[in-house]
Structure 1
Amino acid sequence: MTLAAPAWLCKSWGRQTMDTNRIATITLDETSILRRSETVAREREVALRDLVEDNSFTPVRAAENGHVGPWDLKLAVREARLELAIHDAKGEEAGLIALGTTRFRRVIREYFAICDSYYKALRQASAPELETIDMARRGIHDRGTRHLMDALDGKVDTDFATARRLFTLLCVLHIKG
């Protein structure tokens, strides 16, 4: 699946302006996604849409080598590595960032467990109980986001909101069938 930024993000008052420090399109490697529930598909769609509409992303080495964004990004999980294949505004390969996923395994497992608890609680829990579980879910998600930002440090300049959406997509790529 690929999503591109809407045209209104790339134009300002009839004059073409491009923010180079952003992701223009993002594609998930469909072979990495083994199972899709309706909930997962919905979260993936929201994360993809939100990411292309508002993000801050500059691959450090690509920029140092003269590549200019906006960037096209393809995410895949292969051989226990998260791969970010990057292309520049001209469509040229601008690099591949590979991160070992072992460091994310525990937080992803915890995130899946709390999400499962949350979705089960939706059927029978009170509003305060749901709020407590949701706060825990957000806390675990934020911890995973910080892990991702640490892993990207020196490789990609990004903000917390962008990293948070990327962490959601990392989770989607880790769902086992």
Structure 2
Amino acid sequence: MTGASTTPSRFRLSAVSLDPPLGGRTDATQKHEQSIAVFDLLDNNRFAPIEHRGGPYRLRLSVVDKRLVMSVTTENGAPVLCHHLSLTSFHRLLKDYRLVCESYASAAARLTPDRLEAIDMGRRSIHDEASALLKQRLKSKVEIDHGTARRLFTLIHLLVYQQLLGGFI
């Protein structure tokens, strides 16, 4: 899936794509999560590659050999950076996040709103921790704000989840 922003700015993402696009055994819920994350990311983000004069930028995310590959170009296609980030430090967070999301989905019809809120608070806590780690791990390559980190983590989770279905982890 690719999304595009119409809001001009120098240090922001104008397009985001996943490689490969979500498909195969990925269900409608994950595709919906991706659509929301991309829409929200393009609507409001801060993305400033270190020592680059400005974009807007196009970002392609993929997972290769248990590494996140972030390929960044300008809107005109000029290469800005290609960064490979080990996902090892995210393994526990990705697993916990997936388990909490699955618990929420399976419990939604049978638990009280208070109990669902407690599960969702746990999900948000894991999401915040993963976002802070992502922001810290990227700081030498790209400056991002908290909201951008959260939405990027959602997309990373979806990519890894898709590969998990194919035997990634």
Same fold (TM over 0.5): yes
Report deviation, 1:156: 0.8
CA distance in 2, matches of 1:139, 1:77: 24
Amino acid paired to 2:55: G
Higher radius of gyration, 1 or 2:
1
Which of 118, 138, 154 does residue 168 from structure 1 map onto? 154
1:76-91 matches, cutoff 5 A: 76-91=62-77
Amino acid paired to 2:15: T
Is 1:94 equivalent to 2:84 in the alignment?
no
Q: TM-score if structure 2 supplies the norm length?
A: 0.91
2:57 alignment partner in structure 1: 71
Percentage of identical aligned residues = 34
Q: Displaced runs of 4+ in structure 1, greater than 2 A?
A: 31-35
Query: Relative to structure 2, which stretch is displaced further, 26-35 or 104-113?
Result: 26-35
1:114-153 matches, cutoff 5 A: 114-153=100-139
CA distance in 1, matches of 2:115, 2:135: 30
Deviation readout 1:59-91 (Å, 9 max, x if unpaired): 114x0xx5x300011000001110110101332
1:3 alignment partner in structure 2: 3
Q: TM-score if structure 1 supplies the norm length?
A: 0.87
Amino acid paired to 2:39: R
Where does structure 2 lack aligned partners over 5 or more consecutive residues?
none
- Secondary structure (helix, strand or coil) at the match of 2:29 reads helix
Contact 2:22–2:31 (CA under 8 A) maintained in structure 1:
no
- Secondary structure (helix, strand or coil) at the match of 1:129 reads helix
Is 1:36 equivalent to 2:22 in the alignment?
no
Amino acid paired to 1:167: F
Amino acid paired to 1:103: S
- Secondary structure (helix, strand or coil) at the match of 1:91 reads coil
CA RMSD of aligned residues (A): 1.4
- Secondary structure (helix, strand or coil) at the match of 2:98 reads helix
